Amino acid sequence: MAVINYLTRIEFEAGAISRLPELLDGLGVRRPLLVTDRGLVATGLVDRVVALLPSATAIFDRTPANPTEAAAIEAATLYRGSGCDGIVGLGGGSSIDLAKAVRLLSGHDGPLAQYTAVAGGVSRIHGRICPLIAVPTTAGTGSEVGRAAVIITADGRKLGIISPFMLPSIALCDPELTLGLPPFLTAATGMDAISHCLETYMAPAINPPADAIALDGLKRGIANIRVAVTNGADPQARWEMMMCALEGALAFQKGLGAVHALTHPLGAIRELGLHHGTLNAVLMPAVLRFNRDVIGRKWQVLHDILGGEPDVVIADLCRGIGLPRGLAEMGVTDAMMQQIAGEALLDHCHPTNPRLPTREDYLALLQDSASSRGTT
């Protein structure tokens, strides 16, 4: 039996940010909390969005690179103290995931760990929460249409809180907001989106719509990521990459796999502060090789789209757009790998990999990803 769910309201077009006041009004939001980060404040984009918001808007701009429960509690305290009645999440996946966690706390008591998938938290989440409009400013996580928020909980674990109720009320996707995004961040977030398409397609659940969406997103991403990285002002490339990110997340309702089972605990290593998309990119070639023998004809489908052996093409692409050559270059040590290999077994993405890894398999994947393998 195939259980297929799609999903939430999406507004997607260049210039769509101008519709934010209308959309808030439609949701009955009069005093929103804007959740964003200081890096985005420095670009001037936050001021541009604030000009569209009611004068009573409260602003939380301290989203960490990897969102934490402590930040969610701080923002939720501001939400309640300011009498807010809705949330706008503006930024990359970190800001939008944090906004989702604050939204959860608008109708639920903490701690957040009780709502995580690995703790059986899906049944504890209800829909008596405030409206949320998610406004992505990168083309990567697709969190604007995802039913999960990935948060570092109070005990230091990076875990997924998953429920249909976690979907934003509206995803407001304006590719113009990504124009001029720096090359490295374009590359890292773009490979995040591509990794979602690849992992979803390989996942074993029966969901032909998700597979079709994932492959369409993959084609768009592969065809446009180099242009987006080298020419940040190209509007068509930015449109295509934002659609790739959107489609990757629409598709990963089907499930992800070993890449994300590893990147979640890697992202929780606080002394490194590793970027999620960069980790996905570095780990993807090894996981592709690991899955090859069990995904059958899907390997040839990926080969035809990518124009070569998938693991080699992805490794070469990552190097060509300036991403790290491996986990060692990113500061991941052998001791860290030993710990992460065990933690990956507990991640909610572990069971949906097409070939179920053991702890030893995860350790081998990490070691295989310590340095890059490709053709150049």
Mean pLDDT of the chain, nearest integer: 94
The mean per-residue pLDDT over the stretch 264-270 comes to: 91
Sequence-ordered list of residues with C-beta below 8 angstroms from that of 120, at least 6 positions apart, any chain:
none
Measured between alpha carbons, how far is 10 from 23 in angstroms, rounded to an integer? 11
pTM of the complete model: 0.92
Q: Determine the pLDDT at residue 375.
A: 60
Percentage of the chain surpassing pLDDT 90?
Answer: 89
pLDDT, one tens digit per residue, over 184-210 is 999 999 999 999 999 999 999 999 999
3-state secondary structure of 202: helix
Measured between alpha carbons, how far is 106 from 121 in angstroms, rounded to an integer? 16
pLDDT, one tens digit per residue, over 315-372 is 999 999 999 999 999 999 999 999 999 999 999 999 999 999 999 999 999 999 998 6
The residue type at 131:
P
Report the interhelical angle of 235-251 vs 208-230 (nearest 10°). 150
Measured between alpha carbons, how far is 342 from 328 in angstroms, rounded to an integer? 19
The mean per-residue pLDDT over the stretch 120-127 comes to: 95
Percentage of the chain surpassing pLDDT 70?
Answer: 97
Q: Mind listing the domains of the chain with CATH numbers? A: 9-177 (3.40.50.1970), 180-368 (1.20.1090.10)
Measured between alpha carbons, how far is 200 from 213 in angstroms, rounded to an integer? 10
Q: Determine the pLDDT at residue 1.
A: 38
Burial of 71 (0-12, 13-18, 19+ CB in 10 A): buried
Tokens 């290593």 sit on residue: 269
CA 42 to chain centre: 22
